[in-house]
Each structure stands twice: as C-alpha cells, then as structure tokens.
A and B are shown apart, each in its own frame.
Chain A
Amino acid sequence: MSKNLNPHLVASFDQELETLDGLLVRQFGMVYNMLNDAMRAVSQFDVQGAQEIVQRDKEVDALDTLIKEGVIKILALRSPLADDLRWVVTIQKVSGELERIGDLSKNICKRIPELARRPLPEATSGLRVLGFMVLEQLESMQHSWIDENVDLAMKAWQGDSAVDALYGSMIRELLTHMFEDHGNITSCIHLLFMANNLERIGDHVTNIAEELIFRITGKKPSGDRPKENNTSLAPN
C-alpha cells in the first residue's frame, strides 16, 4: 500500500497497483543480485558464475515485459489520474531503467572470461570498490522507492562525487598498469569498459531517482544534474 495515498473506492484497483509495484520491487531485487553477483564473479575471476549471471538477464527482460503489460492494462481499464497516473507511468519508466542496468551487468559478466585469461588482481581492486558504491546506490534507490522517500532520491539525483572521483583515479591507475607492462593492455581495456558500465549504471540509478521525485511531487527536479565524468575515455 502506498503510504501517502488513501485507498480507492474500488479496492481491486488498489490490488492491481500493488501487484504492479510488487513486480517492480522484485525487478529491483533481481537486478541488484545480478550486479552483486557480477562483482563477486569479477573479483574471483569466476568464468562459470559469469555465464550463469548472463543467463539471468532474460528473466529481467521477461519481468520488464510483464510490467509493461500490466501498465497498459491499468492505463486502458482504470484510466488512472493524478498520483495514480504518475505512479503507473513511472513504474513503466523505472522498469526500463532496471532492464538497462541488467544489460550493463550482463556486459560486465561477458568480459570476465577475457579478464580471467590474465587476471590482474591489483588492477581490479578499484573496479570492486566502484562496484560496491554503485550497488549501494542501487540498494538505497530501492529503499527510496519502497518508502517513497523524496529526500533520499533527491540526494541520489544530485550525484555522488565519490563515484566520479574514484572513476577518474581508476582510469589513471589502469593507464599506469598498461604503461608498466604491455601484456596488461587487454585486461586493462576490459576493466576500463567494465568501469564505464558501472558508471552508466550510476546514471540509470540517477534517472530512477528523477522518476521517483516526479512520481511523488509531480515535478521533475530542477537545478544541476550530476556532471558527466570528464575523465571518461569512452563516449557516452
């Protein structure tokens, strides 16, 4: 039950909204586990684990499809308005963002076999910390959604300079590893792309924050959005 809203006269409408929101929360959990396990597989150079995680992306996509069907059904049959309309529409958008986070987690896993051919544990530690930070953001965003916590979402939306700073220093560190030994280049390039995937996941979490703020307040947040990282080597 949404904590800020009174129940509907038509109880089945409430149930449908709860079901839909429940699916989204499930998708949040699925994507969180996917990324969490992906980061574990990265640190252990676990090729088999990585392949298993790649398969899970299909479940995330299936859930996204299910959610979108539910959204269309509610739009068509209930004609939601005001808070209900914003709730339903943002569920659809957030589900799309989560689906993209699933894709990016999958991309991280797909590089693990390459990385495992020449593991560079010391070069991987930065990526693990970055992954940890992004996972925290994702978890906090899931709580913000469930608690309808605008303040928390606003903080997430304003961005986390620690992630940006770490991403920047990681790139410099990887460059050093590449200069030290040309044999490290392939692994470092993969690590760079993985770091970029994590940074993109952070952007999607920011988008979710924006959607949640709109859902609750009816307005998109204004002011400065977090800056794109200017140390990024890959074009976004």
Chain B
Amino acid sequence: MVGKNVNYSFETMHLEASQNTTPPRVKMEAKGVDVYYGDKQALEKVDLPVPLNRVTALIGPSGCGKSTFLKCLNRMNDTVVGCRVTGSITLDEEDIHSPTVDVVQLRARVGMVFQKPNPFPKSIYDNIAYGPRIHGMTRDRTELDQIVEESLARAGLWNEVKDRLQEPGTSLSGGQQQRLCIARAIAVNPEVVLMDEPCSALDPIATARIEELIDELCNKYTIIIVTHSMQQAARVSHYTGFFHMGELVEYDHTEAIFTNPQQERTKGYVTGRFG
C-alpha cells in the first residue's frame, strides 16, 4: 500500500477498507464551463471532475449556480430559453454536446432527482414503468414487473408499497415520494444520478433513509448531490465542490473541505464566519 502515489487520508483508507478500490476514474468532467442566462453569466470557467462510483456534493450559498451546473450535466439547460452553455462536458470522455449524442439517451444515462418530489399523476407502478417503456427496455410485462420491483427495492420502498402499486404516486408521504422519484430515476439504469437538494423537504428519518440509499447506490452509480446541509454533504459524499457567485472556489476530498479548507471563502461558508 505504501509507495503508491496517493495522498493517503482517513477518507482514502476508509474507502479502500470498505470497497477495496483503487483511486476512482473520472466518469464525467466539466472543463471551462460558462453558462449565461441571456446576458447574465451564471457560471464562470468551471472545471470539475466527477469520479466514478463516488458521491460528489456541491455546496454553496443560494444563487451561486449549483442547480445550473447540475442541469448542464444532462443538458436540461437546453430547454431553458436564453440559456447558453459553453466549454466542455464529457461523459466517459465523450463530449455530451457532440452532434452524435442523443439528448434523450443522455438523460437516460444521466438521471435526475429534484428537490421537490414530483411523481407523475399516475399509479406508483406506472411512475416506475414509464421510463423503461419509452426507452423500450423490456419485451414483456414480466420483465417490466421485474424492473419495477427491483427499482423500488433498491430505493428501499418496495416493502412499503408492494400491496398498493396501483394507487397514485401522489398518495405517498413526502419521503416515500422522494424515494419513488429515486426509484424512477434508477429504473432506466442510469450511470450517473443527479440529485438537487433531495432531502430538503424531508424529516430526519426520511433523510437518513435517503442518505443510506445514496451510500448503497454509489456502488453501482455515480452520484452528484446538491445540498444546503453541510452535515449532509459531510455524511454522504466523498468529494465536495464549493461554489460561490458562479465560480467553483474549491474542490477536494470531503474530509479536507470540512476539516481544513484552503480557500478563505470556503472557510467562511462552512464555519459560518464572515468578515
């Protein structure tokens, strides 16, 4: 172990002990990303690597551009009128803006979970089955049933809803709805899951469930989570990026960001100390 060119920290030791992995490869990467809404620049020269099978947290004050950045990663900004994105964003080293990339396909590979649970006005079953159906992922009903069950089980919701699959998704509690949305996002077998403040409307128990779920999911997926809770970022993520006024100020191991940040602005934000 000693002698490898890795900066060992508790973080890396813990990861190696629990997952026995070598340092992760980069799954997605932003380089020199600028975003404009009309004339107004919302992001400036953002360089951020997203490591495979790790949780990356994005933190920063309201309006600093976290959601904007997240939406760049699956080109959700394409649908925003007046929004312009420049710079390069790659998924497995392929530029996601390249003409050969199909946006629908991209969004299947890079799924998204929003702040407010937004189940479709359909049954629990159909909420999950929707994605696999439009992507033609299954041949028959049995396969679809299987995907629905697996996705709900992975999101930790199956036992709670297995007897009420035909009830509307909106009949679930807030925490259950959020897990339904996570199940829906993973039903199409994405590679990356983007989560924008997924727990902001949830109580501590529902939050803990989602965090536990994130922990499990990162074995299979690459996760990027925007959160306003520093404690949540510290608990769930391996890497953290701090945004401020459209800039990525600091990006590092989560442990470093919360115990020994290098930039004054990061320090001020995480400690709540302002000059």
Binding site for B on A (CB under 8 A): 5-10, 13, 79-86, 218-219
A191 to B272, CA, bound (A): 52
Chain B, interface SS category: helix
User: Are the CB atoms of A82 and B231 closer together than 8 Å?
Assistant: no
Give the residue of B259, B266, B268 whose beta carbon is less than 8 angstroms from that of A6.
B268
The reply to whether B231 and A79 form a contact with Cβ atoms under 8 Å apart is: yes
Point out the residue from A84, A218, A219 that lies within 8 Å of B271, measured CB to CB.
Answer: A84
Q: Is A82 touching B260 in the complex (CB atoms < 8 A)?
A: yes
Q: Which of A7, A80, A81, A219 has most B Cβ within 10 Å?
A: A81
Known A-B contacts A218-B259, A218-B260; A82 and B267 likewise in contact (beta carbons under 8 Å):
yes
Contact of B272 (CB < 8 Å), options: A8, A218, A219: A8
Task: Tell me which residues from 218 to 275 in chain B have a Cβ below 8 Å from any Cβ of chain A.
Answer: 230-231, 234, 258-261, 266-268, 270-275
4 other A-B residue contacts (CB within 8 Å) besides A81-B259, A86-B260: A6-B268, A82-B270, A83-B267, A85-B258
In the assembled complex, 29 residue pairs joining A and B whose CB atoms fall closer than 8 Å, in A order, are A6-B273, A7-B274, A8-B271, A8-B272, A8-B273, A9-B272, A9-B273, A9-B274, A13-B272, A81-B230, A81-B234, A81-B258, A81-B259, A81-B271, A82-B260, A82-B266, A82-B267, A82-B270, A82-B271, A83-B267, A83-B271, A83-B273, A84-B271, A84-B273, A85-B258, A86-B259, A86-B260, A218-B260, A219-B260
In Å, the complex CA distance between A5 and B272 comes to: 11
- Whether the Cβ atoms of A10 and B259 lie closer than 8 Å is no
Question: Which residues of the partner chain B approach A84 to less than 8 Å between Cβ atoms?
Answer: 271, 273
B261/A82 in contact, CB under 8 A = yes
Residues of A within 8 A of B234 (CB): 81
Q: Which residues of B contact A5 (CB under 8 A)?
A: 271, 273
Q: What A residues does B274 contact at CB under 8 A?
A: 6-7, 9
The answer for the CA separation of A13 and B266 in the assembled complex, in Å, is: 19
CB-based nearest A residue for B275: A6
Main secondary structure of the interface of A (DSSP, over half): loop
Closest chain-A Cβ to B265's Cβ sits at a distance in Å of 11
The residue of chain A having its C-beta at the shortest distance from the C-beta of B266 within the complex is A82
Residues on A with C-beta less than 8 A from B275 are 6
Q: Is the CB of A7 within 8 A of B273?
A: yes
Instruction: Considering the complex, give the chain A residue whose CB is closest to the CB of B267.
Output: A82
User: Which residues of A are found within 8 Å of B231, using beta-carbon distances?
Assistant: 79
- The answer to whether A81 touches B273, judged by C-beta atoms less than 8 angstroms apart, is no
Q: Tell me the B131-174 residues at the A interface (CB within 8 Å).
A: none
Q: What residues on A are CB-neighbors of B259 within 8 Å?
A: 81-82, 85-86, 218
Hey, which chain B residues are within 8 Å of A85, CB to CB? 258-259
Min C-beta distance of B208 to chain A, whole Å: 16
Kindly list chain A residues whose C-beta atoms are within 8 Å of the C-beta of B230: 79, 81
Closest to A214 in B: B260
Q: How far is the CB of A41 from chain B (nearest CB, A)?
A: 43
Instruction: Name the distance in Å between A148's Cβ and chain B's nearest Cβ.
Output: 15
Please, how many angstroms separate the alpha-carbon atoms of A6 and B259 in the complex? 17
Q: Is there contact, CB below 8 Å, between B271 and A10?
A: no
Chain B, residue nearest A10 (CB):
B272
Tell me the minimal C-beta distance from B95 to chain A in angstroms: 36
Min distance, Cβ B110 to any Cβ of chain A, angstroms:
30
> Which residues of B have CB within 8 Å of A6?
268, 273-275
A114 to chain B, nearest CB (A): 47
Minimal beta-carbon separation of A211 from chain B (angstroms) = 14
Chain B contacts with A in 29-87, Cβ cutoff 8 A: none
Q: Which residues of chain B are within 8 angstroms of A86 by Cβ–Cβ distance?
A: 259-260
Inter-chain CA distance A86–B273, complex, in Å, is 15
Q: With both chains docked as a complex, state the minimum distance between the C-beta of A216 and any C-beta of chain B, in angstroms.
A: 11
- A86, B270: Cα distance in complex, Å: 13
Taking each of A6, A8, A218, A219, which has the highest tally of chain B beta carbons within 10 Å of its own beta carbon? A6
Q: B272 to chain A: closest CB distance in Å?
A: 5
Q: CA A85 – CA B234 in complex, angstroms? A: 13
- Shortest CB-to-CB span from A207 to chain B, Å, is 20
Complex Cα spacing A213 to B234, Å: 24
**A83–B261 alpha-carbon span in the complex (Å):** 9
